[in-house]
Each structure stands twice: as structure tokens, then as C-alpha cells.
Amino acid sequence: MKKRGTPEIAARDAQRAIGRRQLIKWSLFTGAALGLGRGKVFQILEDSVDSALAADACALKTNRSVHLVAGNGGFAWFQLLWPHNAVAAAGNNGFAFHAPGQQTLAAGTDRPLTLGPEAPFRTATGSKQITAFMAGTNETHTRAPSTATNVGGNSVMAIAAALQATNPSVVPVVTIGGAPYGTAPGAPRPSAVGSAEQFVGLFNSAASRAGGLLENTADAGLYDAHYAAFASLNRAAARPTQTRAYGTAKTAARLLGSNLADRLAVTDADRARYGVDLGTRANVLAIAENLIVTAKAFALGLTSSVVLPAMEDDPHGAFNDMTALRTVVTQLGKILDGFVNDLAAIPDTSCGGTTLADNLVMTIHGDTPKNPLDRGGWPDGTPQNSNWIYVYGNGLLKTGWHGGVDADGSVRGWSPTTGEDAATTSRELAASASAAVGYAIARGDIRRTADFARGVDIGGVIKPLTM
């Protein structure tokens, strides 16, 4: 038996890769001749050959991502959606969990995950539930927390954007409201806006406005057609090194004559679908409206990543008004459900046979989650100065809690090698947690992940792409 890594094995693998590329190419040509869309071709490849081949044929090589950064103590709200297992199970009315006895365990997760009664994604399969990693340290009172999203000095948000450079999008990454972005090799400069309204304004083409060169819709259509013809006739457009650039340019040409205000603007119907209205407290409404515009921007292929602030309200007295607390938690759950449900209703044209929701990774982290064992004044300090991050890994990460805070105040870490509990601190685990997020964004491509996290162990918490 020949050992892996020998020249014979390498030659065989290379020949197999060529054969797969030829099969994809032949299938797409045949599908076009038969009048089949690319999505149908991908579906046939998956059904008749394997899911990995369909993944190879998908033009989207990197998942889109959304990053909620809950600074200034606002991160605390999210542990009411996904409390520590031992904290919720204790049934202690003094702990910072608002619904003792009303929690449930998510079904089918790789590790236990407790759901508060308002938690989103309750009906999702176990593989599409939240992954919670103990990671980073308490960074009380900052709008730019970084320790839970750092690997080798690079931030998860910037790593995501660098990985997403393979995706055709007009604006690679958008940051809202001063949300932190960080740095990573190859990361594009973000487009910074102040609000959902400014996010919409980012894509209002000046050429399409009154007095603009493409104000006339016939002129706009002609410009789009001319560019498409140019790209089709240019042999360079078919080269792998040029494909993404031409894809982005074609999208831009199509949109240059379009004023997208109406298509991106937030409506009352959108707000209702996300469980909010104009009377909702401002910081909650802002999350909803930012995600509404994000979903629409993803649908139009305008961007691949959005970084937004979340809550930032330092809720020390939240448990003094349980009615208001439950309202906020309910709205947060409905907002996240509304966002993913919106994406699930939109086919992903860049990866046929899937929806936008199938190709999404989401992270939620913050400066301090506050003490889960004390609702009185909800202190900023956390047991052993710990912190954590929630990740919607979309089937690419092992779900459930990795480590956690126990009812006696002790803190469990986790092993990146096995995923099991271990005597490690959350500070020590930040690099592995961040690398795991990068793996999910890279759609299970461990080699691309290693570009930013070389030598960082994540084998115990990841899953292979099964698209």
C-alpha cells in the first residue's frame, strides 16, 4: 500500500482533481445546452455524485458573515438567550437568569446547550444551533472588545473579510456605528457607516439620480448590456484569476444605473417580521434595522460581511424590571430569528441549490457578559475574569457549550483537540475559538484557515463541510 504524500499518490490526487474540474465544466455546459440553471446542475451533481463535488462547483468559496459586537456591558443580554447550562439548571432566583425552570435543552447538539424561553433557532436541527466557546477575558466598559476574537494579533472580523476576498461583492465589508474591525493580512478596508439609513445610502448610485448620466433607465440598461458584452468577449474574463473581479464588476455595472434606496430601505412590514416597531427601545431597534438592511444587501450581492454594534447599554439594573427585561430578551430572539428566516427564503444565486441562510456565519461577543451568578446589580466582574463568544457556525462547528461557568463559581475550559472540558482558561482559548470561526467562514477549508491560525489546534470542535 502506497503511503500518503508519495509522488504516486500526489500525481493520482492531482489527476483526480483535474477529472473533477472537467466533470463540473462538462456538467455546466451540458446544463446550459439543456436549458438548466446552474442551481439545478449543482443539485444534480450532489444527488448523482457527492456533496463535495457540488461544493467545488459552487462559486461561493467563503461564507458571508455578520458580527454583533456588544460593548459597554450590552453583551450580558445574550446570556439570557443561551445561559450557562449549570446556571440555568440550578433554579436559583438569585442567579442572572430570568426564567428558572422555563429553560430547555436544545436537541441534537454535540454538547449540551441550554435555551432560554426566548432563544432563537429553537426548531433548528442540532447542527444549526449555537456554539458557545469560553474565550477571551473580561474587558469591562469598552466598545471595542478584542480578546475573544483574536488569533495571532488578527481579529476575526478582518480575517473574515480577507477570506471573503474570493466572493464577488461591490463593497466587501461594512462596519456600522463605529463597530470595531481590526486587522489581518489581506483584509480590505471597511466601508464605515453610522446607521442602517446610511447603510442604505451607501448603495444609492449617483449616476442614477436626477441629473445623473444614467438617470434614464434605457441608458442604464444599455450600459449594463455593453459591459456584459465586453466581459463575455474578453478572454481574460474566464481566467480563474480574473473571475471574481469580473463578477464584481458585472454586479457593479448592473447596479450603477439603479438607485437601491427602495430595495434596501426598512419598512414597517420588515420591522413587524423582526418583532419590533418604531416604539421599540432604540438600541434594540437599531439591531433589527441593521440586520434587515444586511439581509437585503446580501440578497443583492452588495457585500459579504457586516459588523454592527449591539445593545451597549450596561444593564446593571435589568432585573429590577422583569417586564421590561422579558420584552428586550423576546425582541432579541425574534430579531435573530427574523434575520435567519429572511435569508432562508432567498435562493443564493452564487451557490445554486442553497439559500442565503445556508451560507451564513454569525458571531456575538462583547466586553463583559457580567456575572451570571448574581442578578443584584448584575456586576461587571465575571468568575475568574472569564469571557465567551457565541457562534452560529451553520453545521461546520460542534454545537453547544464548550467549557462554562458552574453554579459554584468555578470555570471550566475546553480542549481544542477533543472539545471536552479541560483545565484551561478562557484567555488561553481565544486563539482556538477564533480559528474555529475562521474555519466556518472558510466553509471548512482548513488550509485557508491555517493562513491566519497556523499551528492553532481546532480539531476537536470543527466538522467537515457536508453542504
Instruction: Determine if residue 360 is left, alpha or beta; phi over 0 gives left, psi from -120 to 50 gives alpha, anything else beta.
Output: beta
Taking only the tens place, the pLDDT of each residue in 75-105 is 999 999 999 999 999 999 999 999 999 999 9
The DSSP bridge partners found for residue 363 are: 67, 391
Q: Is the pLDDT of residue 58 over 90?
A: no
Pairing of strands 114-115, 131-137: unpaired
pLDDT above 90 as % of the chain: 70
Question: Residue 13 — very low, low, confident or very high, per pLDDT cuts 50/70/90?
Answer: very low
pLDDT above 70 as % of the chain: 75
Output the DSSP codes for 57-95. H-S--S-EEEEEEETTTGGGGGGGTS--HHHHHTT-TTS
Q: Is the pLDDT of residue 192 over 70?
A: yes
Identity of residue 85: N
Taking only the tens place, the pLDDT of each residue in 104-114 is 999 999 999 99
Q: Are 253 and 220 in contact (CB under 8 A)?
A: no
Q: What is the per-residue pLDDT for 30? A: 54
Averaged over 366-371, what is the pLDDT? 98
Q: Is the pLDDT of residue 1 over 70?
A: no
Residue in 410, 413, 427 with CA at minimum distance from that of residue 461: 413
Residue in 183, 158, 184 with CA at minimum distance from that of residue 67: 158
CA–CA distance, 167 with 292 (Å, rounded to integer): 21
Q: Is the pLDDT of residue 9 over 90?
A: no
Q: What is the per-residue pLDDT for 406? A: 98
Question: Residue 221 — very low, low, confident or very high, per pLDDT cuts 50/70/90?
Answer: very low
Question: Residue 6 — very low, low, confident or very high, per pLDDT cuts 50/70/90?
Answer: low
The residue that leads in pLDDT, 202 or 179, is 179
Q: What is the per-residue pLDDT for 8? A: 56
The residue that leads in pLDDT, 434 or 212, is 434
The Cβ of residue 135 has, within 10 Å, a number of other Cβ atoms equal to: 31
Q: Is the pLDDT of residue 352 over 60?
A: yes
- Residues 6 or more apart whose CB falls under 8 angstroms from that of 265 comprise 200
CA–CA distance, 69 with 283 (Å, rounded to integer): 13
CA–CA distance, 288 with 278 (Å, rounded to integer): 11
Taking only the tens place, the pLDDT of each residue in 391-400 is 999 999 999 9
* Least confident residue range of 337-341, 372-376, 458-462, 463-467: 463-467
The residue that leads in pLDDT, 35 or 165, is 165
Q: Is the pLDDT of residue 11 over 60?
A: no
Question: Residue 253 — very low, low, confident or very high, per pLDDT cuts 50/70/90?
Answer: very low
Three cell numbers written together for 264: 434596501
Three cell numbers written together for 276: 419590533
Q: What is the per-residue pLDDT for 237? A: 45
As a CATH number, domain 60-197+277-450 is 3.40.720
Domain ranges in the chain are: 1-57, 60-197+277-450
Identity of residue 78: F
Three cell numbers written together for 298: 446580501
Pairing of strands 114-115, 104-105: antiparallel
Pairing of strands 360-366, 64-70: parallel
Averaged over 193-212, what is the pLDDT? 70
The DSSP bridge partners found for residue 305 are: 65, 173
Q: Are 380 and 103 in contact (CB under 8 A)?
A: no
Q: What is the per-residue pLDDT for 149? A: 98
Q: Are 76 and 319 in contact (CB under 8 A)?
A: no
Residue in 186, 195, 150 with CA at minimum distance from that of residue 62: 186
3-state secondary structure of 122: coil
For the chain, the average pLDDT equals 84
CA–CA distance, 71 with 290 (Å, rounded to integer): 16
Instruction: Determine if residue 347 is left, alpha or beta; phi over 0 gives left, psi from -120 to 50 gives alpha, anything else beta.
Output: beta
Residue in 85, 75, 17, 117 with CA at minimum distance from that of residue 363: 75
Q: What is the per-residue pLDDT for 235? A: 44
Q: What is the per-residue pLDDT for 98? A: 98
Q: pTM for this one? A: 0.81
- Residues 6 or more apart whose CB falls under 8 angstroms from that of 26 comprise none
Q: What is the per-residue pLDDT for 464? A: 83
Q: Is the pLDDT of residue 125 over 80?
A: yes
Q: What is the per-residue pLDDT for 120? A: 98
Strand residue runs (E) in 332-405: 360-366, 386-392, 400-402, 404-405
- Residues 6 or more apart whose CB falls under 8 angstroms from that of 248 comprise 168, 169, 170
Instruction: Determine if residue 117 is left, alpha or beta; phi over 0 gives left, psi from -120 to 50 gives alpha, anything else beta.
Output: alpha
